Amino acid sequence: MDLLLYPSSISFKSHASPPRPNFPNFNSKKSRNFLRNPLIWRQNCRIRAQSSNGTAGDGFVLEDVPHLTDFLPGLLSYPNPLQNSKAYAIVRQTFVTPEDAVAENIVVQKDSPRGVHFRRAGPREKVYFKSEEVRACIVTCGGLCPGINTVIRELVYGLNYMYGVDDILGIEGGYRGFYSKNTVSLTPKLVNDIHKRGGTFLRTSRGGHDTNKIVDNIEDRGINQVYIIGGDGTQKGADLIFKEVEKRGLQVAVAGIPKTIDNDIAVIDKSFGFDTAVEEAQRAINAAHVEVESVENGVGIVKLMGRYSGFIAMYATLASRDVDCCLIPESPFYLEGRGGLFEFVEERLKENGHIVIVLAEGAGQDYVAQELHPIDEKDASGNRLLLDVGLWLSQKIKDHFTNVRKMAINMKYIDPTYMIRAIPSNAADNVYCTLLAQSAVHGAMAGYTGFTVGPVNSRHAYIPIARVTETQNTVKLTDRMWARLLASTNQPSFLNSNEVIPEKADQETMEVVNDMRITSI
């Protein structure tokens, strides 16, 4: 069948372009002069499969990512150095074919359209950079997460060992490091053991994104590959950098590597560091369980990360098996009345003599807003500062049972947030980070740009940055995973009461709480 691009037609094939006579060497380290051409790329184009007679075929849609040849049409390509690699010599098929795609949805019904697909990640037969002319840079932005150092290490190793790139810069201190900090030259020897440490070897910061200053610095330094590790706001910044690079007609590949410990990035299966966070969260849950089991009427509350998405709380609860109740931002709950949290806590105390509650930091913010006056403040990334629901809930439960039920309880409150963020990644995340980094390197060397990389249905793919930033991944209360949690804890769903929130906060306060979204980079 013929594959047609709307609004204009292209064939679904490699981006190799025929050589053009007297084409300038704009990759030269000596001159670092970049070719500038008119902008012709239309981002987020889709390729839809059609039969040869023009009628709709099987509904195959490819959400493609930008390529340097889309706005530098005469760009030269070169044989991939991996064809001479000893490591890849034993691989049956060294290179990913242009037709390889990864399906966004793999559960389909008979005769249903094949749906959206993404380009499969991996090495291509042709590259658009000479190894000796590459100057790459790596930057980390936003909050900490297990695995950042592993990604940095594997980017350096991938560039150097697979493609022979020696010129790799580390941008220190986040986005503002492009124009206000010194860089560090990264070598395999320098980053050899950084994966054993938590945090980020390059240090990080929030905010500081100035697109023009950043791209000016990229151009001045002769950087032609940019690897950006960060979350939602950071990836939005990467998209702006790509668009400015495209506007200026620079031969610069911009690759995003999504990072968020909350696992709230859309499209991809999960974010790196998530498995490590769940594993470490279990230690806190186990500590709470030991504490409350050892006293009479013990109530243990463990607050975990999860500003808008309760994945860590949900998976840690399922993995632990010691949790009686899990509260997440997606699921409203109420305290008083039949079927409320207070009644459930009392039942568990009478039945077992103790209870463990796991609480995501974004849960119950509407409740807290009724009693506390939220301060309309944001961090440097534009995130509104959350109220401390953990301390609030601990006090509410203690007050209710002491003053209303006349029961003595032993409250144990644990907040392991920063301990979880700061640890090194576990074995599973280390493997995952290696695949992410190598996939990003393969994509940039192959000339793709303005993309992010991640697993889609267990296959790594190149995804348009806009797709992973247009919405957030959240726990769906109608999915089986949440039902599995309810079946495991035997907690109420808190969805059947007509009085989910007995007293609504004033409209102004609720607007502040409901507006807790990233509004800047």
Q: Which residues have a catalytic role annotated?
A: 262
Buried b (16+ CB within 10 A) or exposed e, 12-51: bebbbbeeeeeeeebbeeeebebbeeeeebebebebebbe
CA-based angle 302:324:388, to the nearest 5?
30
End-to-end CA separation in angstroms for the chain: 43
Sole residue written with tokens 């939602």: 232
CA 384 to chain CA centroid, Å, is 19
Report d(CA 416, CA 421) in Å as an integer.
Answer: 9
Joined tokens for residue 234: 């950071």
Q: Strand runs (DSSP E) across 147-224, as ranges?
A: 167-171, 183-185
Of the candidates 181, 188, 160, 177, the residue with the CA atom closest to the CA atom of residue 228: 177
Report d(CA 93, CA 83) in Å as an integer.
Answer: 10
CA 17 to chain CA centroid, Å, is 33
> Which parts are annotated binding residues for Mg(2+)?
232
Buried b (16+ CB within 10 A) or exposed e, 331-357: bbbbbeeeebbbebbbebbeeeebbbb
Report d(CA 112, CA 129) in Å as an integer.
Answer: 41
- Which residues lie below 8 Å from residue 21, measured CB to CB, with a gap of 6+? none
Q: How would you classify residue 42: left for phi > 0, otherwise alpha for psi between -120 and 50, otherwise beta? A: beta
> Which parts are annotated binding residues?
143, 206-207, 231-234, 260-262, 305-307, 361, 418-421
Joined tokens for residue 488: 């495991």
